[in-house]
Amino acid sequence: MKNKIITLLLVVAMIFVFAACSEPSPTDVADDFLTAVKTQDKEALSKVYVEENFDVADATDSSDLPEDLQKEIVEKIFDFDYELGEEKIEGDEASVEVKITTYDVGSAFTEFIGEYISQAFGLALSGTSEEDAEELALEIFEEKFKELEEKDYTENVRLELKKTDEGWKVSEIDDDSAFLNAVTGGLIHAVKKIDEALDE
């Protein structure tokens, strides 16, 4: 009888061990999240993100641009590479280090603004039309964006996760977060710096 009780306890213990092992780790969830972001898989994102949805496109709205250029921007934004690093767990909170490598979109945007302001100033003095100014802006922007051929932008960021009833999920990511800035190749911070400079 004693042996049967010991055997039963061992079986129960093994069930708990296997149940714990089968739950995706924070690193597994971070991997699924990044893959879902790259492929823009909203259904997969909903399973690993703590909020209802996560859309990088919302933070990089380019709806005012021609459709073909919009498509090219989206393709480059989501064509990032990533490497998962150290995982840390503290109770119901966790973090995973991530190295993002992508196109230097932020520098391209900064160069575009600088060149456009320089040329537009001359056009304004010559009495050019608003349509001509918009055409010039589009021309310079497209030129700078098409020059992005190498993934030479790298940033190390940290994904925060929290334990929920459904397992680990990536915590809410702000629109101006380091993660979004990394994925967009420094675009978020570049836009912020330009806005601050213009305000001054």
Given a cut of 70, whether residue 73 has pLDDT beyond it is yes
In a domain, 54, yes or no: yes
Q: Are 141 and 73 in contact (CB under 8 A)?
A: no
In a domain, 4, yes or no: no
Given a cut of 70, whether residue 134 has pLDDT beyond it is yes
For the question of whether the overall pTM of this predicted structure is more than 0.85, the answer is no
| Rounded Cα distance, 158 and 38, in Å | 17
Domain count, the chain: 1
Q: Are 148 and 186 in contact (CB under 8 A)?
A: no
More confident residue, 127 or 185: 185
At 15, the pLDDT band (50, 70, 90 cuts) reads very low
Assigned token pair, 154: 């790298």
DSSP assignment of the chain, as one string?
-HHHHHHHHHHHHHHHHHHHHHSPPHHHHHHHHHHHHHHT-HHHHHHHBSSS---HHHHT--TTS-HHHHHHHHHHHT--EEEEEEEEEETTEEEEEEEEEE--HHHHHHHHHHHHHHHHHHHHHTT--HHHHHHHHHHHHHHHHHT--S--EEEEEEEEEEEETTEEEEPP--TT-HHHHHHTTTHHHHHHHHHHHHH-
Domain, as residue range, for 37: 25-199
In a domain, 10, yes or no: no
CATH code of the domain in which 42 resides: 3.10.450
**Which amino acid, residue 38?**
K
Q: Are 151 and 81 in contact (CB under 8 A)?
A: yes
Give the pLDDT confidence of 40-62 residue by residue, as tens digits. Answer: 899 999 999 998 777 666 655 55
Q: Map tokens 């149940």 to a residue.
A: 19
More confident residue, 97 or 122: 97
- Average pLDDT, integer, range 185-193: 91
In a domain, 16, yes or no: no
Find the range with the poorest average confidence among 3-17, 143-157, 162-176: 3-17
pLDDT at 63: 59
